[in-house]
Amino acid sequence: MELTINGKKRQVDAAPDTPLLWVIREELGLTGTKYGCGAAQCGACTVLADGRPIRSCVMPVSSVANQAITTIEGIEEDPVGRRVVEAWVEHQVPQCGYCQSGQVLTATALLKQSARPGEAEIAAAMVNLCRCGTYNAIADAMQQLAKG
């Protein structure tokens, strides 16, 4: 099966119903995408498929074969992604950091879809769990990013 990951075509050998998360982590060795719950609950495994955030832990790899996948490893190749990372650093968002790949990708997807999202839009999109409680710092970073 052929996948497009961070702009590169990659051949993978995996059962079609393998969750994308495990193909990314185990076949491609890209461990920036995290396993948190495996049940579409936490968002740690978020990647972008054609720009939309998806929870890769429940997404069969065969269903994204024709889509462009962006993982955290590719985030800085995207101008919006770069801005998000800068805002994350400026606002010192990460604590343990484990949820942050998913947070950064979710934020990037939102801003690509809506350059200046309002507070409600931000709250509706930024729903990934953070056990460390970085929500306030994420809110601050998002507020700054939403100013364009």
Partner 1 sequence: MMPMNMPQLPESLPTDGQPLNLSRRRFMGASLGALVLGVLLPGKVVRAVQSVASETKPGARIPAFLEIRPDGTALLRSPFVEGGQGIYTAFAQIVGEELDIAPERFSVECAPPGADYLLVNGARFTGGSFSVRSSYEVMRRLGASARHMLLQAAAAKLEVPLDSLATQPGIVVHEASGRTLGHGELAALAAELSPPEQVPLREKKDFRWIGKPVPRLDARDKSTGKVTYNIDLEVDGMLLAAVQHAPRMGGEPEAIANEAEVRAMPGVHSIHRLPGAVAVVAQRWWQARRAVESLKISWKEAAPGTPHAMPADFSSAGMRAALAAAPGPGIAAEEIGDAARALKQASRVIEATYDAPYLAHGQLEPPSAIARWNADGTLELWLPNQAPELFQQAAAKAAGIAPEQIILHSSPLGGFFGRHFLYGTANPFPQAIQLAKAVGRPVKLIWSREEEFLRDALRPMGLARFRAGIDENGLPQALYAEAVGESPTERWFGRQPDKANKSAVEGIARKPYAIPNRRVAQVYLEHPPTIGYWRSVGHSMNDFFYESFLDEVADAGQQDPYALRLRLLADKPRHKALLQAVAELSGGWKRGPFTAGDGSQRARGVAMASPFGIRQRGRHHRRGVHRGRFGGGSRCLGGLRPRQHRQPRHRRGPGEVRRGARAFVHPA
- Cα distance between residue 100 and residue 18, in whole Å: 24
Residue of the chain from 7, 16, 26, 41 that contacts ligand FES (CB under 6 A): 41
> Which of these segments, 1-9, 48-56, 95-103, 110-118, binds partner 1 (CB under 8 A)?
95-103
Query: What is the C-alpha separation between 92 and 21, in angstroms, rounded?
Result: 27
Residue 115 CB, nearest approach to partner 1 (Å): 20
Residue with tokens 């507070």: 119
Q: Does the footprint of partner 1 cover residue 1 (CB under 8 A)?
A: no
Residues forming contacts to ligand FES in the complex (CB under 6 A) are 35-38, 40-45, 55, 57, 94-100, 130-132, 134
Residues forming contacts to partner 1 in the complex (CB under 8 A) are 15, 18-19, 22, 25-29, 31-39, 42, 44, 71-73, 75-76, 85, 88-89, 92-101, 104, 120, 122-124, 126-127, 129-136, 138-139
